[in-house]
Amino acid sequence: MRFNKNKIFNIIVYIISFLFFIALILLLSGIFFQTSPGLFIKELENVNLWNSIFLSFKISFIVILINLIIGIPIAYILSFHNSKISFILDSVSNLPLTTSPLVIGFAVLITMGPLNPVGKLFIDNGIKFVFTPQGIVLVQLIISFPFFVNIVKTSFDSINRNIIDLSKTLGADSFDILSKIILPLSYNGIMAGLAISWSRSMGEYAATQMISGVIPNVTETAPIEVFVKTSYGNYPAAIAIAGILMLVSMFSLGVFKYFSYKMKPK
Amino acid sequence: MKLLEIKNIYKNFSNKKVLHGINLDIENGEISSIFGYSGEGKSTLLKIICGIIKQDSGDIVLNEKNINNLEPYERSTTLVMDEPLLFPHMNVLENIAFGSKLRANKKRHTTSNKKALESPKEIMGLLGITGLEKRYPSEISMGQAQRVSLARALIVNPEIILMDEPFSNLDIISKTKVRKLIKEINCELKISILLVTHDIEDVINLSNKMFILNKGEIKDSGRPKDVLKKPSSIETAFLIGTENIFDGIISEIDKKNNIVKIRLKNEKPENIYIEADYYGTFKVNERIVFAIRPEEVMILREDRGASRSVRENHFTGKIISSVFTLRMMEILIKSESGLEFKALIPFHAYEVMHLFEGKTINISLKKSAIHIIEKKKR
Ligand SMILES: Nc1ncnc2c1ncn2[C@@H]1O[C@H](COP(=O)(O)OP(=O)(O)OP(=O)(O)O)[C@@H](O)[C@H]1O
Ligand SMILES: [Mg+2]
């Protein structure tokens, strides 16, 4: 076999990717080798563990619902309206992607605290964000919605503008166009967006920790529980939760890949 | 009755002047066509009429009602583009029924004498696409898709259908079919159509009235036959493919006999004159161009000699080339004085007259067939 430059190129590209792939698998699956099946199953009987996992599910479900409600209008403006407003909106909505989650959590903690006029207004009206599940919803929303909006926008962008224009002349107003054309054509993109923002919200730790106050059974989400258990030295419990979280993310990755594959035009 | 009036429409795209004071009227129940070079703003004009883009200034009046400020869905003008643009997530039947289910069309009732089509089935029958109901757009041919697109536009009973080069992506057979359909729809439903095309054949075959859009303005308008015969400017003449265009100077005007004598520009020292019917406002010594359509160049039969009726404007020349085109022989004749005429004659006439390349023949140009075009003054 003769080695030409193209072959050497391929070999290098594959070796680097493959080595990294092996390392990643070993790193992530490590937690499953640290425990025995018996110990794992015993930990699964712990009520605290399930409480934290259910809390995470509940919060992330609310987060994606809100994402759906606010994300679609934002993606609509970003994709269909070319103006200064959409440019500003685009930058602002992507800001959470480049900001440290810890800083986001901290900012919400300060803003919603009793010393800040905004926080005071809410607190006076009986709505508390600090150390409450709704506070967690708020920070996870901030962190996950750019993922949702970006995917939905890409999906909106791929819709043929002439089809939209033509449907206007057939008598479709903006409501008709959104409900009968844009949304059905972006179904896959929206599902993929929901999957990715859901898994982002399920796994969020830093910002959540800032606002949660770590109250067992009330604001202790699954990722926080992993940290708490680890700091007590209760590795079997931490491993059990981490294992479940990993299965959950594999599932949502599967959902995401399925829909984002279908989203690609054939 | 005037259906649609376009009044003084101006449109620029970021400093690029596109439409430059467009005025045109469209009669109810007719097929009108807009003809022009690529990039002249034909599509832009259609989009302005149906409200997809806004004009910078000017008015659009439909049924004597100014529709400038109406949203596209309120206008009763539907658009059919060069691509079918079917909704990919709906089957053929759902695509066609799309408009009929919308609120905007439920309360619409037609004012004119158009026959309203209500059921998708009826329209599908008319357009010859029955049986495709359950298919998806990816499962039908381009020609079928374009007919579905037409059906989808028809079901909302628009006042006018705007068609932007609806045949340009079709093969010859589908093109012929769709052309015929458009004519039939117009006859049966009395629906008005504004057709944009850059195929002059479509203009001639389909339309009652044509408009020539050039440099942002409507340069010529009228029945296609008239416009084709008598283009008002050299630009229009070139645009519609007028051949046999010559330069000349008006040398004599005989108002009594209605004859104008034109001196031809040519290489030879002696003057060559040509006579034409006098009309218009030409003056002696004015520089003009004139044109004669290739099918009006008459080749004289040797056996008969020149009869009285074809005594006009005689030339002797040699056939320098003859090409067999779709239906006719296209021959190029070079006269002794160096002028080149193109002539179109039926194939059988070519054979009967024993014509061949290199043969010397006589031709005659009827006075009435000569169309004088005023030269643009600088
Ligand atoms: N949205 C737009 N923004 C900027 N320029 C545009 C836009 N739409 C059209 N134009 C320009 O306006 C001119 C007219 O375009 P238009 O599509 O109306 O021409 P057309 O006569 O339909 O051409 P064709 O026969 O090729 O379809 C073109 O020069 C085009 O580049
Ligand atoms: Mg065009």
Q: What is the mean pLDDT of residues A46-62?
A: 91
| B183 Cα: distance to centroid of ligand 1 (angstroms) | 28
Distance B167 CA to ligand 2 centre (A): 12
Tell me the fold of B2-237: Rossmann fold (3.40.50)
Cα gap B86→A25, rounded to integer Å: 46
pLDDT of amino acid B267: 66
What pLDDT score does B15 carry?
A: 85
Give pLDDT tens digits for B279-289. 777 788 888 88
Mean per-residue pLDDT for B177-181? 88
Give the whole-angstrom CA distance, residue A2 versus residue A9.
13
Query: pLDDT higher for B339 or A169?
Result: A169
Q: Which residues pair with B95 in a beta bridge?
A: none
Mean pLDDT of B279-307: 80
Whether A165 sits inside 8 A of B79 (CB atoms) is: yes
Q: Which of B13, B15, B43 has its CA nearest to residue B213?
A: B43
Burial B65-74 (b: 16+ CB within 10 A, else e): eebeeeebbe
Residue spans of the domains in chain B: they are: 2-237, 242-375
Say yes or no for a CB contact (<8 Å) between B77 and A169.
yes
Residues B311-362 pLDDT 10s:
678 888 999 999 988 778 999 999 888 889 999 999 888 888 888 999 999 8
A160 and B79 within 8 Å at the Cβ level: the answer is: no
Q: Is the pLDDT of residue B242 over 60?
A: yes
Contact B51 A168 (CB under 8 A): yes
Task: State in Å: Cα B360 to ligand 2 middle.
Answer: 46
Residues 6+ positions from A200 with CB-CB distance below 8 Å? A140, A143, A144, A147
Type of residue found at A244: I
Question: What digits encode the pLDDT tens for the residues A206-251?
Answer: 999 999 988 888 889 999 999 999 999 888 889 889 988 988 888 9
Chain-centroid distance, C-alpha B157: 26
Atom from ligand 1 closest to the CA of residue B42 = 21
**Mean pLDDT lowest among A89-93, B110-114, B212-216:** B110-114
CA B56 to each of CA A46, A130, B20, B274: distance values in angstroms, whole numbers, following the listed order: 71, 54, 10, 48
Nearest CA in chain A to B105: A171
Q: Decide if A156 contacts A73 (C-beta within 8 A).
A: no
Lowest mean pLDDT among A37-46, A113-122, A177-186: A37-46
Chain B residues whose CB is inside 8 A of the A170 CB are 73, 78, 98-99, 102, 105, 152-153, 156
Sign (positive or negative) of CA dihedral A253, A255, A258, A263: negative
Taking the C-alpha atoms of residue A155 and residue A143, their distance in angstroms, rounded to an integer, is 20
pLDDT above 50 for B378: no
Question: Which amino acid is located at B48 in the chain?
Answer: I
Mean pLDDT of A97-124: 93
Q: ∠ CA A63-A68-A72 to the nearest 5 degrees? A: 140
Mean pLDDT rounded to a whole number for chain B: 87
> Residue B95 is encoded by which pair of tokens?
């695509």
B44 pocket-lining for ligand 1 (C-beta < 6 Å): yes
How much is the pLDDT for A162? 96
DSSP state of B310: G
B181 vs B312 pLDDT, higher one:
B181
Write the CATH number of the domain with boundaries B242-375. Answer: 2.40.50.100
Nearest CA to ligand 1 atom 6: B13
Residues of A in contact with B77 (CB under 8 A): 169
Q: Does pLDDT of B33 surpass 60?
A: yes
Tell me the average pLDDT across B186-199: 91
Has residue B180 got a pLDDT over 60?
yes
Amino acid at A204: E
- More confident call, A75 vs B369: A75
pLDDT for B306 beyond 70: no
Per-residue pLDDT at A166? 96
Whole-number Å distance, alpha carbon B214 to ligand 1 midpoint, is 13
pLDDT for the residue B337 = 82
Ligand 1 and B19: CB distance under 6 A: no
Inter-chain residue contact B85 with A180, CB threshold 8 Å: no
User: Which residues of chain B have a CB within 8 Å of the CB of A162?
Assistant: 81, 83, 85
pLDDT digits (tens, 9 = 90+) for A142-157: 999 999 999 999 999 9
B364 pocket-lining for ligand 1 (C-beta < 6 Å) = no
Work out the pLDDT band at A141, boundaries 50, 70, 90.
very high
What pLDDT score does B212 carry? 93
